[in-house]
Amino acid sequence: MRALEISNLTVSYKAHPVVHHLTAQFPLGQSCAIVGPNGAGKSTLLKAIMGLVPYSEGVITRSEALKVSYLSQISHIRRDLPLTLFELVSAGALNQVGLFRRLSSSIHQRVFEALEFVGLENFGERSIDSLSGGQFQKALFARIVVEGADLILLDEPFNAMDARTTQELCLLIERWEASGKTVIAVLHDLHLAKQHFTNTLLLAREKIAFGPSKVVLTEANLLKAESVSLGWESDSWCEV
């Protein structure tokens, strides 16, 4: 069963293809890393899946029954807002309870369980401006837990994270996958893709290879992706 299917997708920017004739099928309940050279269209692909950028050709199909969460590369949450960690994470339930209604006891319990899931159960009353970068990223993972998403899209979730935090976040992703969730993440670290993600999509605006990570991330495929990227006229206008 597929969580997401992309058929002949083309996304263009100023008449230049950022993603070109991409076809890929993402299995339900499996993790997938999206890797490739700078300017390969990785982040643009996630935005297209979320409907945040238009595409000129192709079809994106996902099951309507799947709840989707998207964590962008740059958080738009102001760290100086007078919010506690608990309040930030509980925002994941706003689409269920509304903006001005009090949280039910079941939602409170879900938030506590989400904080426990990411190892921040003792930080609920901390203000978000006192959190380290790694703790804040874990809080955003906890918010996804509260949202109850089945399909989770992460754009460079390990950016600026230290090695320990990156490892901890990878283990959280593995736990998501073990519970049947589909996780698709844009990465730069090929080692992380091999070690922690079941599948990998190697992208260079077009699909170079897609399948089990250790099968896709071969020297031959990586050289092919690099060769394709050298043929691009300019990267200055292109998103990653």
Architecture of domain 1-66+150-168+183-239: 3-Layer(aba) Sandwich (3.40)
- Looking at every residue in the chain, the average pLDDT score rounds to 91
Determine the pLDDT at residue 8: 98
Taking only the tens place, the pLDDT of each residue in 137-165 is: 999 999 999 999 999 999 999 998 999 99
Structure tokens at 166: 């990156």
**Closest listed residue to residue 134, CA positions, set 112, 103, 116, 160:** 160
* 0.75 surpassed by pTM: yes
pLDDT band at 233 (very low <50, low <70, confident <90, very high): low
Instruction: State the DSSP H helix or E strand holding residue 203, giving kind and residue range, or none if neither.
Output: strand 199-204
Domain edges within the chain: 1-66+150-168+183-239, 76-149
pLDDT at 97: 58
Q: What pLDDT score was predicted for residue 102?
A: 67
